């Protein structure tokens, strides 16, 4: 699938190494000709989430550090540091709304992660550390005494963990038994990473070696790292279609009184399922409510919501009495305080939650997420009616 090129304004952020005085263009790389990963590396360089060295080499067989790989992955999935520009808006939103649940009382608290790095390390000063931890890609508890050791060569099992989180598969990874792994060395896998390796191999991001082993602690090469991230993008970006139009109808008590046609809701179709960005949906709904004279639920930080990086869960509580909760990879969800089940689990796209909203294999009307969803093939327009819960009787 042809991907959109990232803005030239972000070039300085998308280096695979800490500092590079000059960049080598894809056609100028001297050590890629005939390499098994040549096509993937050249595509990645064109898309500007990885670069070669100033001397015109790429060193495909060289190792890649934890910091370098994490930065490469984040840049590829368009999660950029919050530097005050529009490119960093998703991460800015995550930081503003990040929460976690206290394990004893199960109460919600602000998420303030601590990840230890050497003072002044580029991974911190360039903003990639905050991007990684607030998106949930890096979890400090994975590392002894929360020490990241950014310049240590990254291992294959670490790549499995990071890529699975990028794909929004934390829930299945942490609920899998990991017993059906096909690798000859699976007895050497740490218990907590088995589910991550299982999901990484299911999606095709990582594969085993010809001898049947996985070698979880083996360092990855730069070429292997690029190929793995390319596979993340192939899985994540499946079915993106910018030509689908969205019509939102906002109603109260099933009486339509506001609607809009918008291109502000990210959509993707995977198989028969159409997915939509839940944050985009809720924001559009809130704007329509305000336009129709309804209550304003925006706070100083935008739409009132909570983001749980460790769980990859997003919660909404517009009026403080009915909770909506959606989790990547989990078919169970809450809507207006009630428990429901999706036919397929939500996905993750560029760090944002995509929920299933329509099944093309079914007739109409549909009730996958809300009610009164419809599809017009001639205009390629998806329409759905959004309603608010009725306020409690005082």
Read off the pLDDT of residues 117-131 as tens digits, 9 standing for 90 and up. 999 999 999 999 999
Q: How many domains does the chain have?
A: 1
CA distance linking residue 325 with residue 368, whole number of Å: 15
Give the Cβ contact number of residue 183 at 10 Å: 18
Q: Look up tokens 């017993």; give the residue.
A: 179
Q: Give a yes or no: residue 354 inside a domain.
A: yes
Q: Which residues pair with 252 in a beta bridge?
A: 255
Check if the beta carbon of residue 380 is closer than 8 Å to that of residue 243.
yes
The verdict on residue 174 lying in a domain is: no
Indicate the average pLDDT of the chain. Answer: 84
Report yes or no on 349 lying in a domain: yes
Inter-residue contact 216 to 186 (CB < 8 Å): no
> Is residue 241 classed exposed, middle or buried when 0-12, 13-18 and 19+ CB atoms within 10 A define those classes?
exposed
Cα of 96 vs its chain's centroid, Å: 17
Q: Which residue range is the domain that position 368 belongs to?
A: 245-387
* pLDDT category of residue 6 using cuts at 50, 70 and 90: very low
Per the domain annotation, does 269 fall within a domain? Answer: yes
Tens of pLDDT, residue by residue over 29-75, are 889 999 999 999 999 999 999 988 888 899 999 999 999 999 999 99
For residue 378, tell me if it sits in a domain.
yes
pLDDT of residue 21: 32
- pLDDT band at residue 16 under the 50/70/90 scheme: very low
Tell me the whole-structure pTM to 2 decimals.
0.88
The string of pLDDT tens digits covering residues 304-344 is 789 999 999 999 875 555 678 999 999 999 987 789 999 99
In a domain, 383, yes or no: yes
β-strands 373-376, 99-101: how paired? unpaired
pLDDT(177) > 70: yes
How far apart, in whole angstroms, are the C-alpha atoms of residue 156 and residue 153?
10
């Amino acid at each position: 699938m042809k991907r959109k090129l990232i803005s030239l304004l972000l070039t300085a952020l998308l280096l695979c190494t800490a500092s590079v005085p000059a960049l080598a263009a894809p056609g100028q790389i001297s050590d890629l000709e005939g390499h098994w990963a040549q096509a993937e590396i050249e595509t990645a360089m064109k898309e500007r989430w990885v670069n070669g060295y100033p001397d015109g080499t790429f060193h495909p067989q060289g190792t890649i550090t934890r910091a370098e790989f994490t930065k490469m992955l984040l840049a590829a999935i368009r999660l950029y540091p919050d530097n005050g520009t529009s490119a960093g808006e998703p991460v800015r939103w995550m930081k503003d709304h990040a929460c976690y649940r206290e394990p004893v009382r199960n109460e919600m608290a602000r998420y303030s992660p601590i990840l230890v790095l050497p003072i002044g390390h580029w991974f911190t000063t360039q903003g990639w550390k905050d991007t990684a931890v607030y998106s949930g890609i890096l979890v400090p508890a994975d590392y002894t005494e929360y020490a990241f050791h950014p310049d240590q060569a990254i291992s294959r099992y670490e790549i499995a963990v990071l890529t699975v989180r990028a794909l929004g598969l934390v829930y299945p990874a942490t609920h899998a038994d990991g017993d059906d792994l096909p690798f000859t060395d699976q007895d050497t896998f740490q218990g907590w990473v088995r589910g991550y390796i299982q999901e990484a191999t299911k999606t095709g991001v990582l594969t085993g070696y010809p001898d049947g082993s996985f070698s979880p602690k083996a360092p990855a090469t730069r070429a292997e790292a690029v190929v793995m991230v390319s596979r993340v993008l192939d899985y994540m970006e499946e079915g993106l279609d910018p030509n689908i139009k969205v019509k939102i109808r906002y109603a109260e008590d099933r009486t339509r009184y506001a609607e809009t046609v918008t291109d502000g809701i990210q959509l993707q179709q995977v198989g028969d399922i159409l997915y939509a960005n839940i944050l985009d949906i809720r924001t559009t709904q809130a704007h329509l409510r305000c336009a129709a004279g309804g209550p304003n639920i925006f706070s100083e930080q935008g739409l009132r919501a909570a983001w749980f990086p460790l769980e990859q869960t997003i919660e909404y509580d517009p009026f403080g009495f009915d909770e909506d909760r959606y989790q990547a990879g989990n078919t169970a969800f809450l809507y207006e305080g009630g428990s429901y089940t999706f036919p397929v689990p939500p996905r993750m796209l560029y760090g944002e939650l995509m929920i299933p909203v329509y099944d093309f294999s079914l007739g109409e009307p549909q009730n996958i997420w809300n009610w009164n969803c419809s599809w017009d093939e001639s205009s390629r327009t998806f329409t759905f009616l959004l309603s608010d819960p009725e306020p409690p009787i005082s």
